[in-house]
A = this chain, B = another copy of it.
Amino acid sequence: MCRWIAYRGESVPLESYVTKPVHSLVSQSVHALESTAAFNGDGFGLGWYGDQPEPGLYKELRPAWSDENLQHLCRHLRSHMFFAHVRAATGTSVSRPNCHPFAYGKWMFMHNGLVGNWDLLRRDIERMIPDELYGSRGGTTDSEALFLAAMGQGLTGAERREDPVTAVGRMAELVTELVHGKGEGAPFRFTAALADGRDLYAFRYSANDSSNSLYYRTLGNTVVVASEPLDQDRGSWIGVPDNTALVARWGEPLEIQPFLQPSETIEKIPAAR
């Protein structure tokens, strides 16, 4: 089980979230509190938006805790929107192409969770990736396949522009059918973040299992979403409910939307504080 954080707001040095806080992402790589994996030492990655339309990426297969490059980059890079991810592999190899975040054009994605019975379902999920995106599949993880499959639900191409929550939802619906069907009830846990340089989306969902933890904190225009609170002021962190999407569009207030909810549960969605 991995750990990640996503940031949108004033431009800040990445170290403010990735390396410096008491329970920073790098300290979570050594000792996570709300994870079945005690530590996350199977590679890591950073992604950030700057002057270019597409994000910059830094991925490494070493653990985050001993990488001097990561310390340097987090101290010297500033960004208004960035992702950071530490990995605990669930079966696929520890290699850079399997590290998060993944990017395609302006889009960036990272994931904590899994598609159970991956060897059985891999082909079917890869089949959901459109031909024109398949060449950019660089690794073998379920996470990257889920991302490219979601891209294929209308997030790329000139002719149409889908709402990302709808597109990701359609992908998750198809995968849910797969795990219920051919997967014979394999778990599908999907706690993920998606961004395009302006807007940030996060998802907390699962099928046949309980969802992985997810929290957020807002202050003015700043939104931080993380697998676990980054500091001991836990009161300032709000849990993202199961089966919801967090939507933080640039310059707009944060919203929590239903995400693949059974129709009878929609009324349970709490409003964001």
User: Could you list which residues of chain A lie within 8 angstroms of chain B, going by C-beta atoms?
Assistant: 13, 31, 38-39, 41-42, 48, 50-52, 56-63, 65-66, 68-69, 72-73, 75-78, 89, 92-97, 119, 122-123, 131, 134-135, 137-140
Cα A77 to Cα B137 in complex, Å, equals 26
Q: Copies of this chain, how many?
A: 4
Cα A52 to Cα B78 in complex, Å, equals 12
Contacts of A139 in B (CB 8 A): 140
**Are A75 and B52 in touch, CB under 8 angstroms?**
yes
> CB within 8 A of A76: which of B51, B134, B140?
B51
Contacts of A135 in B (CB 8 A): 119, 122
> CB within 8 A of A93: which of B57, B68, B72?
B68
Distance in Å: Cβ of A13 to nearest Cβ of chain B: 8
**Are A72 and B58 in touch, CB under 8 angstroms?**
yes
Distance in Å: Cβ of A136 to nearest Cβ of chain B: 9
Q: A52-B76, A76-B48, A135-B122 are in contact. Are A41 and B38 (CB under 8 A)?
A: no
Q: List 7 A-B contacts (CB under 8 A).
A: A31-B38, A41-B66, A52-B76, A56-B75, A58-B73, A66-B93, A95-B96
Contacts of A73 in B (CB 8 A): 56, 58, 73
Contacts of A41 in B (CB 8 A): 39, 41, 63, 65-66
**Are B78 and A66 in touch, CB under 8 angstroms?**
no
Q: A68-B96, A75-B52, A134-B122 are in contact. Are A62 and B61 (CB under 8 A)?
A: yes
> CB within 8 A of A51: which of B61, B78, B94, B138?
B78
Q: Smallest CB-CB separation from A78: which chain B residue? A: B51
> CB within 8 A of A50: which of B38, B68, B76, B134?
B76
**Are B66 and A42 in touch, CB under 8 angstroms?**
yes
> CB within 8 A of A72: which of B51, B56, B89?
B56
Contacts of A31 in B (CB 8 A): 38
